[in-house]
C-alpha cells in the first residue's frame, strides 16, 4: 500500500480519509491525534483503523468500507 497519507477536510468540518495496513494506520492515527482533541473520538478512530489491519487485499491497494 502506498505510504502517502491523505485526508480531506470537508466543507462541513468533517474529515475524510482512508485506512490501510498497520503501518499506514499508525501514521494516520498519529496525524489525526494532532487534529482531534477528544479522547473518545480517538478511541473510536483507533478501533476503526484496527478493523483493516488483518485484511488481505486480493486486488489493488485500497480498502473500501461503507
DSSP string of 8-23? Answer: EE-TTS-EEE---SHH
% the chain with pLDDT above 70:
74
pTM for the predicted model, two decimal places: 0.65
Predicted local confidence at residue 66, as pLDDT? 46
pLDDT tier at 39 (50, 70, 90 boundaries)? very high
Q: Of how many residues is the chain composed?
A: 66
Average pLDDT, the chain: 80
Residue showing cell 501514521: 27
CB neighbours of residue 29 within 10 Å:
17
Predicted local confidence at residue 16, as pLDDT? 85
Residue showing cell 499506514: 24
pLDDT tens digits for range 4-16: 888 888 899 888 8
**Alpha-carbon distance 25 to 48, whole Å?**
10
Amino acid at each position: 500500500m502506498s505510504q502517502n497519507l491523505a485526508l480531506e477536510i470537508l466543507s462541513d468540518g468533517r474529515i475524510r480519509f482512508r485506512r490501510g495496513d498497520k503501518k499506514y494506520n499508525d501514521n494516520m492515527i498519529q496525524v489525526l491525534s494532532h487534529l482531534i482533541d477528544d479522547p473518545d473520538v480517538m478511541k473510536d478512530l483507533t478501533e476503526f483503523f484496527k478493523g483493516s489491519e488483518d485484511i488481505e487485499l486480493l486486488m489493488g491497494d485500497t480498502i473500501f468500507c461503507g
